[in-house]
Chains A and B, each alone.
Chain A
Amino acid sequence: MKNINYNNEELSVMALRVREHIIRMSTAGGCFTGASLSAVDLIVYLYTNFLNVNPSNLNDPNRDYLFLSKGHDVPALYGTLAELGFIEKERLANHLSINDNIYWHPNTKIPAIEFHSGSLGHLPSVAIGVAMDIKISGGSNKVVCIMGDGELNEGTCWEAVLVANAYKLDNLIFVIDRNQFQANMRTEDLIPLEPLAQKFESFGAAVKRIDGHDFYELNNAFSAFPFQEGKLNVVIADTVRGRGLPSIEERADRWFCNFSADEIDQLLLELHGQHDTLLTSETLIVR
């Protein structure tokens, strides 16, 4: 059973709302705004149109699993979970509060977060364990693991592809949020990843490369699951770090952002198409 399907217009509206949530979380301590904005459309699409997971089946062993391995994009997940009723929208105001668990990396105190992450290159293997058990148990659940492109520097990501290939885990999908940036610079300027699709293919995976902000392409790719019997599925989603905010889009110095309240107002206008007053603030923090 799938969740209710959303059409592309509805998905765009929801993604816009999630982007608003992310912007509102980018103050009073801030968050990894750019990495979250690149992953929004992916996460919204997966929760609405692909994964069999909803607030009432979180303990059902037949539910689908989503693992967020890159971790820094968790505000996009918080926003999506709030829009879909997994958590109260008001709870997002508790971002970074000592009295809640809405912090910079995913944790299991938030409903629907299956496992904590933050240390890169861990969840591909955890997802493998879940996918293995589903195979052993004869289940038909899907397992998705979202990884960052910078994360692919970690050798354990590639170990995981080797093992997933060996065990023919065609119930598992690694989704790469290919936003071209790692923390401080372009991936291709530090540890080049291209040709990325060929790398995964040479490891035995069935690969699809799509525009990760285009719901039509997302739907085409994920509708073809499983891509090939007996093969690990890999989706390379080409995305833009900071997507939706020209002030921070594709800027190496806009990794972690902590805006003032006034700047948040301005960025919300920018998100809605008012591009004449791009931020030049010095309060943007680079870590």
Chain B
Amino acid sequence: MTYEELLTETALNNEQVIVMTAENRALVRNLPAVLGKRFIDTGITEQTMIGASAGLALRGRIPVVHALAAFLTMRAYEFVRTDLGIANLPVKLSGFIPGLLSDANGPTHQAIEDISIMRGIPNVTVFAPADEDDLVKMLPQIWQSPNPAYTRINTRKTGYEHEPFELGKAEVVAVGSDVTILTYGLLFEQALIAMEILINEGLSVGLVNMRSLKPVDEAIILQVAAGSNLIVTLEDHFLTGGLYTIVAEVLLQYQTTAKVLPISLNQKWFRPALLPDVLQHEGLTGKQIAERILGYQTNHFQPSILTQEFSE
């Protein structure tokens, strides 16, 4: 099932669902015809769209709201914080081409602080699926929850079949005692490749798809800290405020510690190009991740990386 199919089915089954967009129609092309007046395109007005979504939610609607992640979370930030956060309204934000998925657009379009700023708003929940299968497994619960929610939309097809989703729970892919990779979003694909290489190099390797970043699965983080010699936080996000910060907060809260290697976009915007080249340049292919953890080069094979389906 695709994102658009799921949204169509959900909206047809629930009259309260309104689909909104700030003229970002790539994922919702067929919805105007299906939903009629329940499809609202406000034009390129992210702030007005968020304000209007609050008004619709005041009337009992559940708006599912689309815009490019960078503009949804940053152009409209104060509207999300003030109109959705303070009032705790169930508006569902779908951030398109988040993180590295904005590939060749350049820094204006790079939402790589979105997790940090969205999770900083009280009441706002934050989710980052690994691929399309993960996305469609997560969204029904996200849309049913009573809170505002920000989801990094990721429609990549990896062929991996994910576990059912539970809000606030991570998905444990593998348990290992030498090193455990905690990740979310599109880098899950590369983490699977890295895991295989590390296992081939003789390590006991764990991998966790964090998927629900707020609320976060604290128990898993503590379990991994206790059971694994090294934690790797892997994310297409600035170092500040994302998964590395979340792990640090949890460890400190429970007065424990761990050896943590953060792999992220370290306080810089990434170099714009098509996605496979971006991953290579930023050292975020599975092979590069594995070699960074190992501390030496290997002759393992890096599978080719699918280019992005969408530009905007």
Give me the interface of A with B, judged by CB distance under 8 Å: 61, 108, 114-116, 119, 121-137, 156, 159-160, 162-163, 166-167
Chain A residues whose CB sits within 8 angstroms of the CB of B63 once the complex forms: 129
- Structural contact, B48 and A130, CB atoms closer than 8 A: no
Chain B residues whose CB sits within 8 angstroms of the CB of A166 once the complex forms: 42-43
Of the candidates A133, A160, A162, A167, which one forms a contact with B56 in the assembled complex, judged by CB atoms under 8 Å apart? A133
- Structural contact, A136 and B54, CB atoms closer than 8 A: no
- Structural contact, B58 and A115, CB atoms closer than 8 A: yes
Which residue of B has the minimal Cβ distance to A117? B82
Chain B residues whose CB sits within 8 angstroms of the CB of A130 once the complex forms: 55-56, 58-59
Query: Taking the complex as formed, is B47 at the interface, i.e. its CB lies under 8 A from any CB of chain A?
Result: yes
Query: Taking the complex as formed, is B37 at the interface, i.e. its CB lies under 8 A from any CB of chain A?
Result: yes
**A23 to B51, alpha carbons, bound, how many Å?**
33
* 10 closest Cβ pairs, A-B complex: A129-B55, A125-B51, A129-B52, A133-B59, A130-B55, A129-B56, A125-B48, A126-B55, A159-B48, A159-B45
Nearest Cβ on chain B to A147's Cβ, whole angstroms: 13
A-B contact pairs, 28 of them (CB 8 A): A61-B59, A115-B58, A116-B82, A119-B78, A119-B82, A124-B48, A125-B47, A125-B48, A125-B51, A126-B52, A126-B58, A126-B83, A129-B52, A129-B54, A129-B56, A129-B57, A130-B56, A131-B55, A133-B56, A136-B37, A137-B59, A156-B48, A159-B47, A162-B45, A163-B48, A163-B52, A166-B43, A167-B40
Among B38, B55, B57, residue most surrounded by chain A Cβ atoms (within 10 Å): B55
Additional A-B contact list (10), CB under 8 Å, known A122-B83, A123-B51, A126-B51: A61-B60, A116-B86, A119-B82, A122-B79, A124-B51, A125-B47, A128-B51, A129-B53, A129-B55, A163-B52
**A108 to B79, alpha carbons, bound, how many Å?**
17
Chain B residues whose CB sits within 8 angstroms of the CB of A131 once the complex forms: 55
Query: Taking the complex as formed, is B50 at the interface, i.e. its CB lies under 8 A from any CB of chain A?
Result: yes
The B interface is mostly helix, strand or loop, or mixed, namely helix
A114-B58, A136-B37, A163-B43 known; A128 vs B48 contact (CB < 8 Å): yes
**A130 to B37, alpha carbons, bound, how many Å?**
14
**A124 to B60, alpha carbons, bound, how many Å?**
19
- Structural contact, B51 and A122, CB atoms closer than 8 A: yes
Q: By the criterion of a CB under 8 Å from any partner CB, how many residues of chain B are at the interface?
A: 29
Nearest Cβ on chain B to A125's Cβ, whole angstroms: 3
- Structural contact, A125 and B52, CB atoms closer than 8 A: yes
Query: Taking the complex as formed, is B119 at the interface, i.e. its CB lies under 8 A from any CB of chain A?
Result: no
Query: Taking the complex as formed, is B61 at the interface, i.e. its CB lies under 8 A from any CB of chain A?
Result: yes
Nearest Cβ on chain B to A135's Cβ, whole angstroms: 7
Chain B residues whose CB sits within 8 angstroms of the CB of A137 once the complex forms: 59
Which residue of B has the minimal Cβ distance to A119? B82
Nearest Cβ on chain A to B235's Cβ, whole angstroms: 31
Chain B residues whose CB sits within 8 angstroms of the CB of A126 once the complex forms: 51-52, 54-55, 58, 83
- Structural contact, B52 and A132, CB atoms closer than 8 A: yes
**A131 to B55, alpha carbons, bound, how many Å?**
8
Of the candidates B45, B47, B56, B87, which one forms a contact with A115 in the assembled complex, judged by CB atoms under 8 Å apart? B87
Nearest Cβ on chain A to B154's Cβ, whole angstroms: 28
Chain B residues whose CB sits within 8 angstroms of the CB of A129 once the complex forms: 51-59, 63
Residue-by-residue, is B28-41 near A (CB-CB < 8 Å gives 1, otherwise 0)? 00000000011010
- Structural contact, B45 and A163, CB atoms closer than 8 A: yes
